[in-house]
Amino acid sequence: MLLLEFRAVAGGLSAFSLRGCFLHGLTSLFSISQRLFSTFFRNVAGVFRWPDARHGSALSRGLPLSGGPEPEGCGDAVAYGRRAGLSRAQTGWLRELREEAILGFSHAFFPDGAPETPMSESLERMADFDLSDEQREVRRTVREFAEKEILPHVERHEQEERYPSELIAKLPEMGLLGPMIPEQYGGSFSDVLTYGIICEEIARVDWVVASVISVANSLCAGSLLNFGTDAQKETFLPGIAKGEILCSACLTEPGGGTDLGNMQSTAKKVDGGWLINGTKVFISHAAHAGLFFLVASVDREKKHKGVTAFVFDPRSVESGLSISDFPMRTLKRDKLSEVHFEDAFIPDDALLGKPGGGFPILGAALDTGRFSVAARCVGQAQRCLDLALPYAMEREAFGQKIGGFQMIQQKVAEMVCRTEQARLLVYRLGRMKDAGIGRASMESSMAKLCSSQAAVQNALDGMQIFGGYSCTQEYEIGRLLMEAKSLEFGEGTSELHNRLIAEFALGIRKQ
């Protein structure tokens, strides 16, 4: 069996790796006890059977089951070894052997590097068929970049609770920090749908890096472009596109994030500027930001008519501003913050729009924000599929692949349909915006509601397919559940969007 499997991969192994692995393998094999012998062979065979022709596309993607710092595709080798009861040394050898095999295979078949990395052939056709050539090319390039440059580091960052600054630093050269910023300000704007595709592809591998892009473009750059003065645009937009200025949106308060009209934070007019008081919680990227998009009330009696928007560099605030960790159970690599203002002075030119005019600014920002969050949810839903499909075709129970069981197939079918329904809503919303329908609030709510629920349900179904292993650190799928769930809260909870959709449908609310 081992020889057969060796023959299957021999075309892909370099002479060096074959010799190295073989010698190394011989030494290790002799040390394996009789009891483990047959299990070992079965599992080694399983490791090698995996990158066969049927999984050619999977191989090019490395099928990063663990998504961790391991070389591509090696997480499963380790899992195989552990399940077979191999020692650490033997498992290490197995991992090396598989790594060599994958590299050998990859180089033999793709000497110029991995080609296009499809999500799965059938799904790819559905997702791509009505995109322009440029949009298809953006998807291909961003996916390849995300899989090569971001994905291999995500799990390690989560475990080390480390903000991914070095990954974010790679975004500007790809034009990924300014997809909604026009060229005149150094951005790479082409169309709104393309922006959605970028958010989808980056979110498919990392929640946090995708969040950097969407907060910067939808909430911050979008608000500056729509409501900012020329000076504010010149001050911030080129820096955002170049990656010199990271953005943070300070909206949610300890008293609640849904009822923003009732916010407690205040802005009091003083000579030359404003004094800000209040606390914001759950704030992403705050500790690294060079731009705060802040909302505070100039008159709390007036509820939403008192809400006022500000943009400023938090590093220029001399006193009264403190940023501390906001402890989270998940997304530890995002380093969410609590931002506390106590008589913090910000100058007059920080005002965005008019005093008391912040609610429409917030509405417009969240409208685009919901589009990008919905696109991110599609990416996450897709990722759950990407992980679950090969696992279902590899894992065996009762002498057959679990993908052959009807109940597993039903989950797969529902995951596919959910992802595609969400993608259709998101792409149509992008096209509506590209067609000049500036605000499409009902459609934004529909896209955000359906796609966030699709991401959560796909993570749940994906976990079920992985069984108990979904709860181990070896596999990414369990982490995706909490990350998807957090997207059901951000930019409006499901309850809020249900309410908005119903009110639009009933004619109680107008676009």
Q: Which residues have C-beta within 8 Å of that of residue 201, sequence separation ≥ 6?
A: 139, 142, 143, 146, 379
Q: Cβ of residue 377: shortest distance to ligand FAD, in angstroms?
A: 13
Contact 204, 379 (CB under 8 A): yes
Interatomic CA distance for residues 440 and 241, integer angstroms:
26
| Nearer Cβ to ligand FAD (194/445) | 445
Contact 450, 376 (CB under 8 A): no
Q: Cβ of residue 202: shortest distance to ligand FAD, in angstroms?
A: 16
Identify the CA nearest to 49 among candidates 68, 70, 77.
Answer: 77
As a three-state string, the secondary structure of 269-313 is: EECCEEEEEEEEEEECCHHHCCEEEEEEECCHHHHHHHEEEEEEC
| Nearer Cβ to ligand FAD (126/328) | 328
Q: Cβ of residue 77: shortest distance to ligand FAD, in angstroms?
A: 32
| Nearer Cβ to ligand FAD (165/258) | 258
CA 435 vs. chain centroid, Å, equals 27
493 binds ligand FAD (CB under 6 A): yes
CB-nearest residue to ligand FAD: 257
| Residue 67, helix vs strand vs coil | coil
70 is catalytic: no
The size of the interface with ligand FAD (CB under 6 A), counted in residues, is: 19
| Nearer Cβ to ligand FAD (63/339) | 339
- Please tell me the total number of residues recorded for the chain in this structure: 511
Identify the CA nearest to 224 among candidates 197, 193, 185, 251.
Answer: 185
Q: Cβ of residue 383: shortest distance to ligand FAD, in angstroms?
A: 17
Contact residue for ligand FAD among 62, 278, 358, 490 (CB under 6 A)? 490
324 binds ligand FAD (CB under 6 A): no
Report strand pairing: 291-297 vs 273-283: unpaired
Q: Which of 70, 253, 491, 503 is catalytic?
A: 491
Task: Give residues 96-135 in contact with ligand FAD (rule: CB under 6 A).
Answer: none
The span of 386-394, 395-403, 435-443, 490-498 binding ligand FAD (CB under 6 A) equals 490-498
Task: Give residues 239-258 in contact with ligand FAD (rule: CB under 6 A).
Answer: 249-252, 256-258
496 binds ligand FAD (CB under 6 A): yes
Task: Outline where 356-405 has alpha helix (H).
Answer: 358-392
Q: Cβ of residue 219: shortest distance to ligand FAD, in angstroms?
A: 8
Interatomic CA distance for residues 164 and 171, integer angstroms:
11
Report strand pairing: 351-352 vs 307-312: antiparallel
Q: Which residues have C-beta within 8 Å of that of residue 390, sequence separation ≥ 6?
A: 50, 55, 58, 63, 65
| Nearer Cβ to ligand FAD (170/499) | 499
Contact residue for ligand FAD among 80, 189, 195, 282 (CB under 6 A)? 282
| Nearer Cβ to ligand FAD (11/256) | 256
Q: Cβ of residue 489: shortest distance to ligand FAD, in angstroms?
A: 4
Contact residue for ligand FAD among 58, 84, 151, 283 (CB under 6 A)? 283
Give catalytic residue positions.
Answer: 491
State the residues that interact with ligand FAD by CB under 6 A: 249-252, 256-258, 282-284, 331, 336, 486, 489-490, 493, 495-496, 499
